[in-house]
Structure 1
Amino acid sequence: MRSCLIAASTLALAFGSSAAHALTDAEFQAIATKVFIPVMKEYRIPGVAVGLTLDGHEYYFTHGEAVRATHQPVAKDTIFELGSVSKLFNVTLAELAEQRGLLSMSDSVSAHIPALRGTAFDGITLLNLATHTTAGLPLQAPESVTDAGDELTDYLRAFKAQGDPSTFRSYSNVSIGLLGKITAEKFKKPYGQVLETQVFRRLGLSSTYVSVPDAAAGRYAYGYSKKDDRPVRLNPGVLDAEAYGVKSTVVDMTRFLGANLGAVQAPKEIADALAGTHVGFFETRYYTQDLIWEQYPWPVDAHRLQAGNSSDMALKTQPVKRLSPPAAPASEAVFLNKTGSTNGFGSYVALLPSEKLGIVVLANRNYPNEVRVQATQHLIKMLEEISRK
Structure 2
Amino acid sequence: MKKLMGAFVAVLACGAAVAEESDIDALAARHFGPLMETHDIPGIALGVTHGGDSQFFTIGLAARDDGVAVTPDTLFELGSISKLFTATQAALMEVRGELDLADPVSAYIEPLKESAFGALSLADLATHHSGGLPLQVPDRVSDTDALISWLKDWVPPMKGARSYSNISIGLLGHIESRIADRSYAELMEQGLFAEMGLRDTFVDVPDAVMPRYAYGVDRDTGEAIRVGPGVLDDEAYGVKSSARDLVRLLDLYLGHADAGDDLTQALARTREGFGTTEAYVQNLIWEEYPWPVDADRMVRGNSYDFILEPQPMERIVPARAPGQDVILNKTGATFGFGAYVVLLPGQDLGVVYLANRNIPNEARVRAMHGFVTDLLEGR
TM superposition score category, shorter chain reference: over 0.9
Per the alignment, residue 31 of structure 1 pairs with 27
Kindly report which structure 2 residues correspond to 1:50-129, keeping only aligned pairs within 5 A, or say none: 50-129=46-125
1:156-209 deviations in whole A, cap 9, x for unaligned?
112123353xx2111100000000000111111101111112211111110000
Residue 342 of structure 2 corresponds to residue 350 of structure 1: yes
- The correspondence for 1:341, drawn from 311, 330, 333, is 333
Question: Structure 1: which 5+ runs fail to align?
Answer: 1-22
Residue 368 of structure 2 corresponds to residue 376 of structure 1: yes
Distance 1:228 1:260, change over 3 A: same
For 2:258 and 2:362, the matched residues in 1 are separated by 32
For 1:340 and 1:163, the matched residues in 2 are separated by 25
- The correspondence for 2:352, drawn from 344, 356, 360, is 360
Per the alignment, residue 148 of structure 2 pairs with 153
Read off the aligned partner of 1:363 and give its amino acid letter. Answer: A
Read off the aligned partner of 2:111 and give its amino acid letter. Answer: A
Read off the aligned partner of 1:75 and give its amino acid letter. Answer: T
Per the alignment, residue 240 of structure 1 pairs with 233
TM-score by length of 2: 0.93
Per the alignment, residue 5 of structure 1 pairs with none
Give runs of ≥4 in structure 1 deviating > 6 Å.
none
Identical counterparts, % of pairs? 47
Aligned residues: 361
Read off the aligned partner of 1:365 and give its amino acid letter. Answer: R
Cα shift at 1:71: 1.1
- The correspondence for 2:45, drawn from 41, 46, 49, is 49
Residue 137 of structure 2 corresponds to residue 141 of structure 1: yes
Q: Is contact 1:25-1:59 (8 Å) kept?
A: no
More relative contact order in 1 or in 2 (CA 8 Å, sep 6+)?
1
Q: Is contact 2:28-2:371 (8 Å) kept?
A: yes
Cα shift at 1:70: 1.2
Q: Is contact 2:271-2:323 (8 Å) kept?
A: no
For 1:122 and 1:239, the matched residues in 2 are separated by 18
Kindly report which structure 2 residues correspond to 1:171-210, keeping only aligned pairs within 5 A, or say none: 171-210=164-203
Cα shift at 1:118: 1.6
RMSD between superposed Cα atoms in Å: 1.4
Read off the aligned partner of 2:108 and give its amino acid letter. Answer: H
Distance 1:122 1:229, change over 3 A: closer
DSSP 3-state at the match of 2:117: helix
Per the alignment, residue 314 of structure 2 pairs with 321
Q: Is contact 1:278-1:291 (8 Å) kept?
A: yes
Q: Is contact 1:282-1:323 (8 Å) kept?
A: yes
Read off the aligned partner of 1:153 and give its amino acid letter. Answer: I
Per the alignment, residue 7 of structure 2 pairs with none
1:345-389 deviations in whole A, cap 9, x for unaligned?
000000111111000000000001111111111111332343x7x
1:102-157 deviations in whole A, cap 9, x for unaligned?
11101110110111112113421111101111122211111111111x21221111
Worse-superposed segment, 262-271 or 243-252: 262-271
DSSP 3-state at the match of 1:72: coil
1:49-88 deviations in whole A, cap 9, x for unaligned?
0000001110000000111121111011100000000000
